[in-house]
Structure 1
């Protein structure tokens, strides 16, 4: 089994399309960390359009107020971006980038940020780069080493066969992430107040949703507390009998029925 995986890896390393994809992942991560780093170095709040009462907005506000620590994070991200762009230091950049991508992905999911799809994509791109450099990482991993003579080689002429199966898997994985991201949460705070309130008409309980948005964006309470209030409001609304307004509406209809018949 180990030899089969090694053989597949060696074939991938000798295929130009896999190499193009590795370059794409490196550039994508470098752009993401470079932009994020420059914003921090310039002293600007990251994600300026994010509501200040949003859980992630509160986090960014607090991070901005840490002074030179905020700048330090930005410098670190820019350095990682540069390492990723240089072929000779790409592995070092991928290793340094992984904890950044993992941290941002977990953070985005924990606060139900709308950009969780992008952060998940970045984490997967980073994982691919680590797999791409497996031939250099395997010596520090607790795996069985290759038998003598089975080490990968660097072919002068790369294989140009397009790996349909691999890229089909990539597309299906991205589609699955988008789909699961849309159904995993019953409610989200939205990046802006209007975004949160606009989602309420499609919610299973619009009134509870509006109370949740008010709790987040107007009162600035913690996400956990607002979610607890949301669940309580949903249970309360389900247990309530038909509202007075609905009864009045029915009486109005029936009261006008004789007039309509005449």
Structure 2
């Protein structure tokens, strides 16, 4: 643990890491300000997403919750402001995490195309929480070890390469790995859903799925069941 803390304090004293932390704070705040403003104004979030889209169902229901919808918007604006103020950035990051984690699980559950961005937002907030470990460690349930803060004469270039190189590798994994996460997705529109059918292995079953989502307005689980059933019927016909 002592060695890990020494590495941590090396990163804290590096201007590249400080710049990256500032970038994460600004980027995360910028994502919540417009989202919160839309809710405070009483407008439907992601208005371009059709109501029959699985996530569209959720946004429609959320929009109809009255002052709870406004409350969420106010909360997002407050979190964004806290992130932008250095003295309150840790509180902002702590409040941000359960909100963005909930959104991340929601996007994966509904197979939303924005899962990549939301996953990056979760990782960025985790970085901010780790960045403020020196303030958080006093409430963590393990024995505190006194560590002398190292004074760096030169930046640790190896640490920079390992961190930022690893970050690029993780982002690449998220971007390309999610392409193979699901066999079929509803997309953000009916046209986007049907576009995947031509390049898919089961175009007929894909068309049934898209029709189930956008024309019949059925839940995602029901449409996935229809998709699997259509694949089985097609397979039996070929035999």
Q: TM-score under structure 2 normalisation?
A: 0.95
- How many residues are aligned here? 237
1:239 Cα deviation after fit: 1.4
Structure 1 segments, 4+ long, off by >2 Å, are 157-162
Q: Please point out which of 164, 181, 184 is paired with 1:184.
A: 181
Distance in structure 2 (CA, Å) of the matches to 1:229 and 1:169: 41
Aligned to 2:224: 227
Mean CA deviation greater in 138-147 or 89-98: 138-147
Tell me the C-alpha RMSD between the 2 structures. 1.5
Q: Is 1:213 the equivalent of 2:210?
A: yes
CA deviation string 1:188-227 (max 9, x = no partner): 0011111001111011100000000000011010000100
Q: Is 1:14 the equivalent of 2:18?
A: no
Q: Is 1:194 the equivalent of 2:191?
A: yes
Distance in structure 1 (CA, Å) of the matches to 2:75 and 2:154: 37
Q: Is 1:51 the equivalent of 2:50?
A: yes
Distance in structure 2 (CA, Å) of the matches to 1:82 and 1:198: 40
CA contact (8 A) 1:17 1:160 kept: no
Aligned to 1:260: none
Aligned to 1:97: 96
Aligned to 2:74: 75
1:178 Cα deviation after fit: 0.8
Q: TM-score under structure 1 normalisation?
A: 0.87
1:19 Cα deviation after fit: 0.5
Task: Could you tell me which runs of 5 or more consecutive residues in structure 1 were left unpaired when the two chains were aligned.
Answer: 243-262
Q: Is 1:125 the equivalent of 2:124?
A: yes
CA contact (8 A) 2:10 2:156 kept: no
CA contact (8 A) 1:14 1:159 kept: no
Distance in structure 1 (CA, Å) of the matches to 2:237 and 2:197: 20
Aligned to 2:28: 29
1:160 Cα deviation after fit: 4.6
